[in-house]
Amino acid sequence: MKNIRFLAAFLAALTLALSACGGTQGTTAGDTSTDKTTSADTTEDTTPAETDRSQVKDGLPEKDYGGDKFTVLYRNEWAYEFIADEENGDILNDAIYRRNRAVENRFNVNFEFVGLPGGYSSTEYKNAVKNSIVAGDSEFDLITGYQADMVSHAMEGYFMNVYDMPYINAEAPWWSEKANTALTVHDKLFMTTGDIAVTLWDNMFVMFYDKKLADEYQIPDVYEIVENHQWTIDKLTELSKNVSKDLDGNSGFDGNDLYGFVTSPGNHTRAWMVAAETPITRMNDNGEIEACFMTERTVNLVDKLKKLCAEQSSYTGNEVLTEPNSTGEPVIFTSDRALFMTGYLGNAKLLRNMDTDFGIIPYPMFDDNQDGYRTTSHNSVSMVCFPVTLRDNEMSGIITEALCAESYRGVIPDYYDLVLKTKGTRDEKSAEMMDLIRDGLTFDFGWVHSPSMGSIGIILDDVVIGDKDLSSYWAGKEKSVESGLKKINAAYEKVGE
């Protein structure tokens, strides 16, 4: 079923409410009161509410580029986002192929995709971007890179302000408006992401639950709990704590036993800072980024997570899903030995042969006073960047907007089918959950810029899983954080002038 109906429109106000930073005292990093406008023609209605997304217009002008080449730099490890030479029966490949051909035919362009190794800290990829721009080359019309790596290039002034790009409508549903708001600083945005990047979806942090175990342990309807705004960390602890059993009889609990909650160390723990709205940084009233992590809310979050993970019913050794591109089957879940499991949305493809039905739900909220569910995407998400050496700003804006809009209309509905089909059927309630999760997707400015601040982004993993004292840990990192923020503020104040 490709006509996905949404629970609510993605077009919300540009204010991202993150109460963890003290309510009215400044805003989360990237949130400003200045209205963002672009050069896009907005005479067409791009509101997706209660409509077939295939019919949503992008408002782009008619253009004929006479067969001109449009060059995209992509990462070999995630080639599936762009490379599809022909239709071969694979759902995602065929959707990408149709998207590429639709944009080529509409604007009479020819795509040239240039791939390089682009994993984390790939020197080859980062140097290719830097050297091209420093040399003044107009080699690339669009760059898609590893989020954690593109940040340093953005701070060096290598990328255009997205808000200045002609025909990029940052408020359209195919982009991530909350993420754009979170990454905006001094009214400038140097990298963005949206439906053009399948990694945005594959890498989104979610939870899975085993419906068979839920029935056996008389767990209330989990979907209903989510819909009623009751899915909180405390509720997760309550529902999972009575689900545990030493299945192998070795008088201890390990990866062979039954649990109510299973998670992976590392990234899965870090995601809680976004899900619970306890950001590392915020933008103050002077427009500067400042640290705001050490709050009462953060202290309470750590207490909640430590309590959850300390339960006999919790297991934190599910390393097989630590990274979103994992290919190993999470046997502890597929063999019905975990009621709830953290993961990435793309991991659902590893569960399709599971005999038991499973559901997809968001990470829980901090408490029921939180205004909605939040999630983020792993650092390897492809970020859209426009080099300052673009040969034709308008062409890059139009073609990129078209690719993202066409992904929204055609690729993502097929992605839903790919993720949601189990045993030949489709879980429509999980489809609604995916809408809800995507609508709450954002980024934490401090986490994204963590490499420049003493790798502070790993703080929850070290404190919760490593069982360290939060205050002592922060005290040891505070100097690096403050030093990094000075450099970040200076860099962003300078670039894009």
Give the pLDDT confidence of 363-391 residue by residue, as tens digits. Answer: 999 999 999 999 999 999 999 999 999 99
| Distances in whole angstroms, Cα of residue 291 to Cα of each of 16, 303, 360, 366 | 17, 21, 33, 20
The predicted structure's pLDDT at residue 52? 83
pLDDT, tens digit (0-9, with 9 covering 90-100), for 391-417: 999 999 999 999 999 999 999 999 998
Which is it for strands 205-210 and 289-291: parallel, antiparallel or unpaired? unpaired
Strands (E), 65-152: 68-75, 109-116, 142-146
**3-state DSSP helix/strand/coil percent for the chain, to nearest 5?**
40, 15, 45
The predicted structure's pLDDT at residue 15? 35
**Any idea which residue has 């390393």 for tokens?**
319
Residues whose CB falls within 8 Å of the CB of residue 239, separated by 6 or more in sequence, listed in order: 219, 220, 222, 260, 339, 340
Local structure of 317: helix, strand or coil: coil
CA torsion, points 229, 233, 234, 236, in degrees to nearest 10? 90
pLDDT, tens digit (0-9, with 9 covering 90-100), for 144-199: 999 989 999 999 999 999 999 999 999 999 999 888 999 999 899 999 999 999 99
Residue 56 has pLDDT above 70, yes or no: yes
| Rounded Cα–Cα distance for residues 479 and 432 (Å) | 44
The predicted structure's pLDDT at residue 40? 44
pTM tops 0.85, yes or no = yes
Characterise 424 by phi-psi region: left (phi > 0), alpha (psi -120 to 50), beta (else): left
> What DSSP string runs through 340-378?
EEEEEGGGGGGGTT-SS-EEEEPPPBSSTTSSS--B-B-
The predicted structure's pLDDT at residue 287? 87
Residues whose CB falls within 8 Å of the CB of residue 24, separated by 6 or more in sequence, listed in order: none
Return the amino acid letter for 464: V
Residue 35 has pLDDT above 60, yes or no: no
**Contact indicator for 347, 338 with CB cutoff of 8 Å:** no
The predicted structure's pLDDT at residue 337? 97
Residue 6 has pLDDT above 50, yes or no: no
Return the amino acid letter for 323: E
**Residue 382 DSSP class:** E
Q: Is the dihedral of CA 86, 89, 90, 94 positive or negative?
A: positive
Return the bridge partners of 308, or none.
Answer: none
**Contact indicator for 425, 431 with CB cutoff of 8 Å:** no
Residue 242 has pLDDT above 70, yes or no: yes
- At 14, the pLDDT band (50, 70, 90 cuts) reads very low
Structure tokens that stand for 325 in this block? 């591109």
Residue 311 has pLDDT above 60, yes or no: yes
Return the bridge partners of 192, or none.
Answer: 384
Residues whose CB falls within 8 Å of the CB of residue 34, separated by 6 or more in sequence, listed in order: 187
> What DSSP string runs through 376-416?
-B-TTSEEEE-BTT-S-HHHHHHHHHHHHHHIIIIIHHHHH
| Rounded Cα–Cα distance for residues 6 and 152 (Å) | 36
